[in-house]
Amino acid sequence: MNVAYDQHSASSVRGKMCFEEPMATHTSWRCGGTAARFFEPADRQDLVNYLCDVGSETEILWLGLGSNMLVRDGGLRQTVIATSPGLTRLTWIDEQVVYAESGVTCAKLAREAAAHDRAGLEFLAGIPGTVGGALRMNAGALGGEIWSFVETVETIEPGGQIQTMAASAYVPGYRNVAGERLSFLGAWFRLPQPADGAGRARIRQVIAERAETQPIGKFSCGSVFKNPPGDFAGRLIENSGFKGHRSGGAQVSVLHANFIINDGNATASDIEALIDEVIAGVEKATGVTLETEVHIVGMPPVSQPKGGQR
């Protein structure tokens, strides 16, 4: 990790500022190019200080666990700000309301709710991401969605200004949310229903079902495609003959066709090419155009001139 400071850093910053940081070490697909600037704030005040220093013109890409992101091999020109592990405060306001900063993992929030005997968030135990990312995409599973429990959110602007917004200011949809301010610093969740002592057992069930049906332990991003209305992306991909299909080091999982795994040698270009193949193939076979759930960011690799570099 190349730790240094330039005009994009501040003397008051206490976290890690890195340059040309390999994003393969920060994404669950374990591939992709470098980030021009990569900042891990020590805590929320460190983040505010940094954003105040660099100003509102700096383009920011927010990163949680990198579990829903494909960084192209050409890398990122934006400043990447990683919310974990610095923004991980988790506090109960009262018996029914818990506040979680954006870097808290979904699994930890689920376990915390179960430990306090509050029901509703058990489905988060199977989502490999953070609260910030879950809010941005309205993460859901097993019939539950995170925005069903949001009471208030806290957002932060590129210049460091913090705003508190009611959940009513947003319109949650399927794997997205619409609103004016979408850089989430944290949220307050209201959990009115008691778990009746069954929260931990439900979490164990969620984890067990996930292990049986998904390629856990492989380099993947989770579900690659959104489910089309009234159907499942995995079913369409499998029925179109793409289960196990490969492109370079990338392969459609033989366990769950809506997962693409990196066998350890895949480039981001391999994965993106396979995504494109699946979209085209499913559309040809079924007439359905799949939409990606994963966010594809960054620049393609610079092509080498024929005959090698001169």
Q: Which residues are catalytic?
A: 175, 223, 293
The answer to whether the bond into 301 is cis (omega within 30° of 0) is no
Q: In the 8-state DSSP scheme, what is residue 9?
A: S
Using DSSP, state whether 60 is helix, strand or coil.
strand
Q: Which of 76, 51, 54, 12 is nearest to 185 (CA)?
A: 51
Residues 6 or more apart in contact with residue 160 via CB below 8 angstroms: 47, 48, 49, 50, 51, 52
**Degrees to nearest 5, angle at CA 65 with 61 and 70:** 60
Residues 6 or more apart in contact with residue 189 via CB below 8 angstroms: 97, 98, 99, 100, 109, 113, 121, 149, 150, 151
Residue 70: C-alpha distances to residues 154, 161, 189, 220, 262 (Å): 26, 29, 29, 10, 12
13 contacts 49 by C-beta, under 8 angstroms: yes
What is the residue type of 114?
A
Residue 271: C-alpha distances to residues 101, 137, 268 (Å): 31, 21, 5
Q: How far apart are CA 201 and CA 198, in angstroms?
A: 5
Using DSSP, state whether 186 is helix, strand or coil.
strand
Q: Which of 35, 44, 30 is nearest to 17 (CA)?
A: 35
Q: In the 8-state DSSP scheme, what is residue 105?
A: B
